Amino acid sequence: MKLKLLFFLFAFTCISCSQKKETTSAAKTPKLNQYITVLGTAQDGGFPHIGCQKECCENFYNGTYKKQKVVSLGLVDLQNKQKWIFEATPDMSTQLADLEQHHLKKETIIDGVFLTHAHIGHYTGLMYFGREALGKQGTKVYAMPTMKTFLETNGPWSQLTTIKNIELLTLQNDSTIVLNKQLKVTPFLIPHRDEFSETVGYKISGSNKTALFIPDIDKWHTWKKSIIEEVKKVDYAFLDATFFNQKEVKRAMTEVPHPFIEETIDLFKNETTETKNKVIFIHFNHTNPALQKNSIEKSNAEKLGFKFALEGQNYEL
């Protein structure tokens, strides 16, 4: 009995001290002025995935894992009271709510949306700006020329522009958009299955730090630039990590080409830990062990210096 009481007291003391520790470290964290916040990490189909009754998604239905939203980054500027979102995902309504509730409250729902391409995980969230949902006027949406024409000339997206729910702004390859004195965004063309639009990645630059965002690309060698050199130029690189390795892909790789995490790790094997630390994997397919807690594959990659994006992480700019 005495032992039981001692154990209880010990456990209680530990809980209260760990709580105290958390509060102290949170209080010490300086408030960031400009930063990127991760709003989603899954591939277009999300997690759980349609039609999947296998172990990966079973972990959601049995309550072991929570839903993972589709890939998206928020760009927050507390100094100038502005916020932007990268990608209009099918989870966009809750991702915008996340920005509002946990980052910056303001009258405007969002100061701008940056689109990468016309695959379902990356633009279909625009539907929430329409008459059936938000129905407000003039939300700024930045898109490349073919992407812009695709939206203007195909229903239901065309209605968003004809009744002016959104205002489409044209981006140009390698041409920088100056958001304010502190923040700049530069789109650049990326090789990807361009059925309906071109595909871009983004460079997001702040006063102190710069990030690269390439959620979808065919294979690194199909790009005219060297991913290693591009990563070296920035502080953070959010990179396409759809599949961990070949084992996950049951269909022809030509249908869905992506660099495997294993290939990216191999490509960077002779680079310094400092360079590897910049790589933050994102855009995970439901089958990817990187989505699973306690995954050996993930922890081995982390030991080598690579990182994995998690919803709620903030990266100072």
Interface ranges with Zn ion (CB under 5 A)? 44, 49, 52, 56-57, 119, 121, 216, 286
Residue 66 Cβ vs Zn ion, minimum distance, rounded to whole Å = 14
Q: CA-to-CA distance for 220 and 217, rounded, in angstroms?
A: 7
**CB-nearer residue toward Zn ion: 35 or 244:** 244
Quick one: 121 or 206, whose CB is closer to Zn ion?
Answer: 121
Cβ of residue 6: shortest distance to Zn ion, in angstroms?
45
From CA 165, how far away is CA 13, in angstroms rounded?
55
CB 162 within 8 A of CB 130: no
Angstrom CA distances, 206 to 135, 137, 200, 276, stand at 32, 29, 19, 21
| Distance from C-alpha of 279 to C-alpha of 71, rounded to nearest angstrom | 16
Cα 305 from chain centroid?
20
Which among 184, 218, 189, 219 has a CA at the least distance from the CA of 201?
Answer: 189
Neighbours of 302 (CB within 10 A): 12
Q: Which is nearer to Zn ion, 121 or 125 (CB)?
A: 121
Tell me the two tokens of residue 258: 């992506």
Shortest distance, position 60 Cβ to Zn ion, whole Å:
8
- In the complex, the smallest distance separating the C-beta of residue 17 from Zn ion, rounded to whole angstroms, is 39
Q: How far is the CB of 283 from Zn ion (least distance, A)?
A: 6
When the beta carbons of 258 and 307 are compared against Zn ion, the nearer one is 258
Q: Smallest distance from the beta carbon of 178 to Zn ion, in angstroms?
A: 27
Token output for 289: 């062990």
- Nearer to Zn ion among residue 21 and residue 54 (C-beta): 54
Cβ 151 to Zn ion shortest distance, Å = 16
Residue (286 or 307) nearer to Zn ion, CB: 286
Beta-carbon neighbour count of residue 146 at 10 Å?
15
Q: Which residues pair with 314 in a beta bridge?
A: 37
162-166-170-175 Cα dihedral, nearest 10 degrees: 180
CA separation for the pair 35, 56 (Å, rounded) = 32
State which residue, 52 or 228, has the beta carbon closest to Zn ion: 52
